Amino acid sequence: MKITETTLPGVLLLEPARFGDDRGFFSESWNRQRMSENGIDIDFVQDNHSLSRQVGTVRGLHFQSPPHAQAKLVRCGRGSLFDVAVDIRKGSPTYGQWVGYELSFENGRQLLVPEGFLHGFITRSPDTEIVYKCSDYYAPDCDGAVRWDSCGIDWDFDGEPQLSPKDQDAPALADFDSPFTYGVSA
């Protein structure tokens, strides 16, 4: 497991080992003990899976408010996508900054998105599947979104993205009052 820090402290890029043979490959996509040895102690309680048919489907940018804030461990099950995290902790030295990485079935990369960050992605291939673990259960009352195109993210996409009505109507980051504060545990 290769773990790389990003420019946003706490957001990590993980590359699990793949053991290839004539059949294909084997990979441990999550090993609690190994992660703990690397200082990552998260109790994941829910595993999510979604399919996006079209290239240029955007899901995000999403968060759940305290007391149901979620850390997420994200990977791509099929196809490819550009996955993004944005720091929305008020008072954070990196507030409003983002990181983005290509996650694909081929590269097997994972992104760890802590509590206090927006998460979202755009698909780069048709029929792309995303799979992610969450550290708290889905809580619709705490569900929130910020406009995908309001954070200065370079999505490297020229067309018209496919968005849910909820994501279309989300507030811009500039008009958003974040429920997270830097240094305060959610």
Ligand X SMILES: Cc1cn([C@H]2C[C@H](O)[C@@H](COP(=O)(O)OP(=O)(O)O[C@H]3O[C@@H](C)C(=O)[C@@H](O)[C@H]3O)O2)c(=O)[nH]c1=O
Task: Enumerate binding residues for ligand X (CB under 6 A).
Answer: 48, 50, 59-60, 62, 72, 119-120, 138, 164, 166
Q: Which of 101, 119, 132, 137 is catalytic?
A: 132
Tell the smallest beta-carbon distance from residue 25 to ligand X (Å).
26
Q: Which is nearer to ligand X, 21 or 160 (CB)?
A: 160
Q: Has 95 been annotated as catalytic? A: no
- Please report, as a single letter, which amino acid is at residue 126: P
End-to-end Cα distance, the chain: 28
Which residue, 116, 104, 99, 82, is CA-closest to 12? Answer: 99
CA atoms within 13 A on the CB side of 72: 29
- Catalytic option among 62, 68, 101, 119: 62
Which residue, 74, 67, 62, is CA-closest to 143? 62
Q: Which is nearer to ligand X, 36 or 164 (CB)?
A: 164
CB of 59 to ligand X, least distance (A): 4
**Residue in the shown chain whose Cβ atom is closest to ligand X:** 138
Collapsing DSSP to helix, strand or coil, 140 comes out as helix
Annotation marks residue 137 as catalytic: no
Q: Hey, what's the torsion of the CAs at 110, 29, 180, 183, to 10 degrees?
A: -100
Nearer CB in complex with ligand X: 35/130:
130
Active-site amino acid positions: 62, 132
